[in-house]
Structure 1
Amino acid sequence: MKKIWFILMGICLFCSCQDDTGFGVSESADGKTDILLQLADAPVIETRADGDQTDDRDNRVENVVIFVFDAAGNLINTPTSQAAEKTDNSSSGNPCYKIREYLPSNKHSIYAVCNYDKSAELIEAVKGATNALDGLKAHVLTINSLAETFKGAYVMEGYTETVSATVTVPVYRVVSKQEFTITFDPEDDTDQFSISNVAILNVPKKSKLIKDEYNHQTNSLDNWTGDAVYSTDGEAMAGNYIDRTVVEVETVSTNQYKLTLNLFENRRGGKSPWDIERELGIADRSEEEKEKIRQLYKKDLAEGKGEFNGETGFPYASCLVIEGVYQTSKVSYHAMYYVYLGHNNFGDFNVVRNHQYNYSVTIKTCDRADTRVWADGIGDVEFFASDAPLSSYFCVREALLYSPGTWEVYVENPDETPWLEISESPSYKPHKLGETLDDNCAQYRLTGGQGSHYIYLHADEYVPPITDPSQNSNYGERTATICYKRQNSNEVKKFTVTQKPAQLVRITAWDFNLAKKVEHSFFVEAVPGNEYLTWGFEKHWSMTMDNLISTGLYDGLSTSRKEYVMALWGDKRSGTYNDLLEFPAPLALEGAQEAAYRGPGADMTLVPLDIALGATLFKNRDRNGNGLIDYNEILWYLPAAEQLEGIYEAITDGTVELELNGETFWSSTPSVSDKGGITPGRAYYVKMSNGKRGIGLRDQQFRVLCCRDAEGWMGPEDGNGSGQVNNNTEWENKEENMPK
């Protein structure tokens, strides 16, 4: 890897990209055609070799729609969404999928659309267009949040006009993949940098489904007017972008972080290295010097400032911003580092579909001579935190505090807002009677010394005291105030924390155990997460899981707690019943299988946080301070299928206000399990576009909602039993497909 940096530089940047896929087709005796979807490794454009960049999710095909057109662009087949069968029919050794489709004799072109969750709307739009092919080409994908660009499988598209006995159809991912490694490696070892947040600017909301051209023009220096976000109306074009989205980074080590994003294409153009060198007056420098200098001016180039003053710049170019506090031995700065995306680190602003971009960002200094660095000296205490409203469950939010001297942070009027506490621990740790109070315990006041400190805001659940859904509108957001200041100073600064209330839903459901209809009331969270997660319990069968197919349709709390027990202890009558846990199971479940995530010698990382069950259980609070989420502490849970249907009805009739954008959500209700462990098994989901229930494979990825029973037992104050919700690094995602 080339090391591109020098004494004035704040960040070093390397980037790379990848692409491509293909189909093969052969005729069969029954008049249908076997269409082979063969997915190839995506080629990489990069300044260093990183090996294979793809994973199973990059190449997954869950469903396919085939459109067949005649020479005039008329649709001549009946397109439907169908499952693709994984096969071994691949000469390249890469994943290969097969579908069967009838191809009329007057076929002229074949288009394939894979993994599109709105395929029904697409099919109707194509059928209703004056010219069907033009209708397909005009179709635009639209998102409301960054997370919607990848929902567990990439939307892909491709076409061919070669319709002989053997047909190859190139298929492209509609989005790009952006991978970042952020490293703090200061020139002065005494420097420190603490990240307050990382955000992506100018996220495209729109993309054409079908690529304009198939020759992969990857490095055009012109603004690409064919992109769906482009408009000659400046105000309209601004509306085609999400201005700023805060993203989470994974901490690899003390000074290194990783981040993966997916973006629609955003080809904003660029400037050649020769033009940049001429305008900067460095054309006569050595190549090594030019390479070092050019990248320092990319932000000025993007904005048409400084050495490029008077130029139009490259508005709406996508950019990653790393914000935090940079401390030197003499002065501290509120600093922002701007990483403009593109094919190089100095003059290209093109984000192209079906490419993977790898960025290695090294923060070395806080020198404002580098135009990509914004820095402002800090002379007083500062507090950096997101002001987005918290959801209704037990929440924790990270904040970064910097002070040049001793400091004090406290909750204003805690008697009026006892629901908000602070600590220096991301996990909620109650202060138990008789124990020493330390900074990791939840409390109302903290103090500390000079430098940067991470403070965690812990909010209690916000469940209004209402008994009927018609009362939901009686409760709005609640607020509390965080005060921060230098110790012994009278100047107090304030930060407002906002939390939204849960909303009550009531359903009538059939209870199989009681053999009668019952009324069930529960609360639903106000701010659903944007993550797309697998259901979990892949390839796991048990009698308890089978029983929940019928008994787990409406009571998500009971279902979630039973699945929690299965995950930790397994079923009681198993020959391999888990006796490694030192504490007893709270339920003696009947069945014949071992625990879903345990085996001989397994450690205590039992329920992964990146599956639906783990993500919802982690929204509960460790009330007894044993570092675990116990059985009796599970109040917020994954709703059952009929509860999700009830939420849809409540949104439709106006008793609940919730932005779900027609997405698909997992329920806690399982469907069939594969006792042989060949397929991952299935579970129920509900589409919030129509409130309909469906069955998905457990390794598919959908969104997750969190609910809480209105009459839910709060549990004893000290809790009992033990358990754990944590991440399992050995979790595997197996590929399988089913029709939608």
Structure 2
Amino acid sequence: MRKIAILYLLGALLVSGCVRDEFDTTRVVEGAAARISLKITLPVMGGGTDTRAVSADVEKRLDNLFVLVFDGGGQIVTRHRYTAQTGASLSSLLIDTRSGKGHTLCFVANVKDGMDSQLTALTSYDALKELLVTATELNLGQSTDVPLIMTAIMENVNVQEGANSISNPVQLQFLAAKVTLTLVDNTPGTQEVTIIGWDVQDAPTRSYLFPDDSKDANPNPETAGADKDEYWLTTGVDYPFEEEDKQAGTATQTLYVFENRRGGRIARALPADPDEQYSNMGLNDKDSRGKAWYKPKRATAIVVTAMHKADLVTRQIKAFIYLGQDNHSDYNIRRGHHYTFTVTVNGLNEIKIDSNVDFLVGDFLVDHGDNLTMDAHPDFRPMRIQAPKGTATMEILDSQGRTYDDPSGFDAIWLKISPLNLMYHQVKQPGNIWQQDADPDSKFVRPKYIPHKSVRAKLASKGGWNAIPAGKDDDDEMIFADATHRMCYKITDIPFTEVTVTAQTLYVYADDFPVRDGTRNARVRFTYHKDGDASDKLGVMTFDITQRGYISFYLDDSHPDAGLYILNEDGTPSNVKRKTVVERFHEYRIMMNPGIPARVQYTGGVRWGFSRTRLYDKPDFFRNGKYMTANAVYNDVVRNGNEPTEFGKRTDSYREMYGNSNSDLGNTTDPIPPYTGSNSGAPYYYPDPEEKEIYHPIYRTSAARYCHEKNRDLNGDGIIDDSETYWYLPSAHELIMWGIAGVMTHRYANLSSSESNNATSQIRSVYMTAYDEPVIAYHSKYSQAFVRCFRELEKTITK
């Protein structure tokens, strides 16, 4: 990796905090010999990305620790420099100093040579607060072995003569902020994007060593005569991206920068050239396309250079990604925050920027997978809270920012939250009432749960969920301990019991959204209170959630000619026409679960064939995708009016489960054997995600089961039955119809797969064909074509 002679300390900012501590309230002797014992707690650079400039171990490594003690008047009392070589660990310290009232203890971790001499020469606390750190050489590659600077302050400490002990650990905080940029090439197959590299524009070259909430190290560049180029770093060398996957069309870079609080948009007249304007452009429009136009002076940006080729014309393009708390209006970079930006290039003039800021108030962080935009099918997103000892609350806000109990209304009833992961099959435990009543060979089963009261009301005649504990009918809001198998709008008292940072993962669930090209929005808000803090000192983070509607084949969904006739078993047309639509997004290469390596989660290479199994041989298999999908998942499907029914209710109704075709993750030919690996234990019994022989309905599965699991078990009985099944793997004819309609353009439809009976004598499968624009291609038994699932919109009897 190349060394880059800059410190873009743009990283997972953990805001430096102050802890007030007093040993007692009795008289304090001044100037006597004293010894302080205390513990050091390390911060965590949070974030969902699997690639990083500095490894987690190096980020928080303690090579040395400089401790300065100032008296109540701000004058130096003692200073000490501790190194990792002088003891087994720097997590516990004994500090020899002098007694006194109102001392301030200051800590600087991983001090560099030049800073060491400056700290040694300091004589006052005021001088320390004015100490500047300048840009330093830092290798941004994964092999980097330079730990990051961290600081902490303890104020108002009364140090008694003799031995003293501070019970609250010193929480170190990173000096830097961190940025992770992911570039996604989503251009049509007729176009080509070649990524050249990245640079930074107007990154601060200096920062205060300790945080000063009243000002940045650099003067306000808007002030006349105050701005100097030497205060800012702009490069022009096109540094290569840290990680680039040409097959997936992605490039990722993590870098570090100093804080730069530049505020919000500034008022400007609209561009004089109408071509530079977009619809409804304005100062307060919250459109990412306006972030460059309305930027304040010296706002920090990452500049990506690429070559775009289309229609035999090649153009050089530069994308300016301005950093901040969001992708449209905020330009503040704060120490300790982790900013993530996903830049999707759909075409030369169609670049979309999704941003998220994982930030910490004190020690509080929430991270998630690659995005929070859900598809039209019942969808979900894991969100992981990381915090030390304290409690958190997670709740749904609607598009207007209202909570479920707002008297003026609440329109986010389509979202729920739960500690339970419905999309992670559990390891079967005999007699467990919270697991599907099944016993497949693989030992992987769905969880059971109690649906939200609004769903229970709609399904009252069906039932199927477990008994509701006494007094727990109302699940709009529940404490975490009661929400183990529930769906809620708000969950409180989420516990963090350790002094060091630990994690709790909860899940956001969206209902089915059968609306053509629709969009609906809501928010998820997290609130955290750290033990020992004042009741009104809270960390608050809010994330935007979006769900998009389906893609349609038809000019008019209601037209009587829309759809295909379902075939009878003998291949003749029935009198029932099925109208189908398509999910909007591929899950290919989407990393949904923070904390699980990306290589495990990629969905490319789902299993298509079933070893030594002939699933179906009737003439209707080219048309009836919904029936074929159920028949590939279950062995007890009953055909009723050409529809699949009665499946999944026996304990042995599952067919054999298969993993995927990634040979690094295990056997790619045979069914998954009985699971014998480790699991998470009660209450959920999740298997180890890195075990080779596991089943997961998204990234360790077969194609038909992958689409079947797009449906949701609505009544919580652990079964996706026929009344809950709308989404399925499309038939060959349905996929051809998609191609004829032309809506696959720009959506990788040439990689979407369906079924055929074109298999070898060893592997007979109904799921092995792809519509490969512009012809039908019957793939071999080892086909790794990607998956796109369809939804039944409605059925009509026409004759």
Report the TM-score when normalising by structure 2: 0.35
Q: State the TM-score, normalizing by the size of structure 1.
A: 0.37
Over alpha carbons, which structure has the higher Rg? 2
Which protein has the bigger helix share? Answer: 1
